Amino acid sequence: DQQVKQNSPSLSVQEGRISILNCDYTNSMFDYFLWYKKYPAEGPTFLISISSIKDKNEDGRFTVFLNKSAKHLSLHIVPSQPGDSAVYFCAASGKTSYDKVIFGPGTSLSVIP
Amino acid sequence: DTGVSQNPRHKITKRGQNVTFRCDPISEHNRLYWYRQTLGQGPEFLTYFQNEAQLEKSRLLSDRFSAERPKGSFSTLEIQRTEQGDSAMYLCASSLGMGAFFGQGTRLTVV
């Protein structure tokens, strides 16, 4: 039973436009959400996180939105750049960031120059 | 400190052989995690340590798998009597607080 879902395996976006990556979760005990980025042959790199007490967290071109009632979060990248092309994993953990992190299957983003 | 280090990067082994992977976390991080990733999937949690104590093991971690972190620093993951289904990327991550930092992984191929 997949607790973290990313229903779009891939996404293509034109350079300069907005990329929106979506994620849904089923476990209402999740309290902390993270996005990771992964290039081929490398481990995942932590990108941005959000606590369940917030609905938005912004870091430069990256913004994560959380809709707790819908158990949905999204990552917005604007403007998208070719270097953003990677696999993006949505992840969630329990009451503290120290709990194990459960990952979604990932969305492969291609930013077209 | 250059981050989480995993060795070897690649391992090819024959079915039935034992393999051992090593992870050196970021030095001040007290939490260390092992994950496994197969093609098209996100990383799957295997086990994690706080210092030298192994706090949780996934049911994915069969009795052929064992992980240790003897002095609360580096960790090893051993797979005994490897099977073809063990072929995957094995990822180690460490954490002190917000977010876990991953190594580059060990790619295991069982032939």
Neighboring chain B residues of A34 at a CB cutoff of 8 Å: 99
Closest chain A C-alpha to B14 CA, distance in angstroms: 23
Helix, strand or coil, per DSSP, at residue B71: coil
Closest chain B C-alpha to A98 CA, distance in angstroms: 6
Neighboring chain B residues of A97 at a CB cutoff of 8 Å: 95, 97-99
Q: What is the tens place of the pLDDT at every residue in B6-21?
A: 999 999 999 999 999 9
CB contact under 8 A, A97 and B95: yes
Rounded to the nearest integer, the mean pLDDT of chain B is 92
Q: Is the dihedral of CA A84, A89, A90, A96 positive or negative?
A: negative
Q: What is the tens place of the pLDDT at every residue in B43-75?
A: 999 999 999 999 888 888 889 999 999 988 999
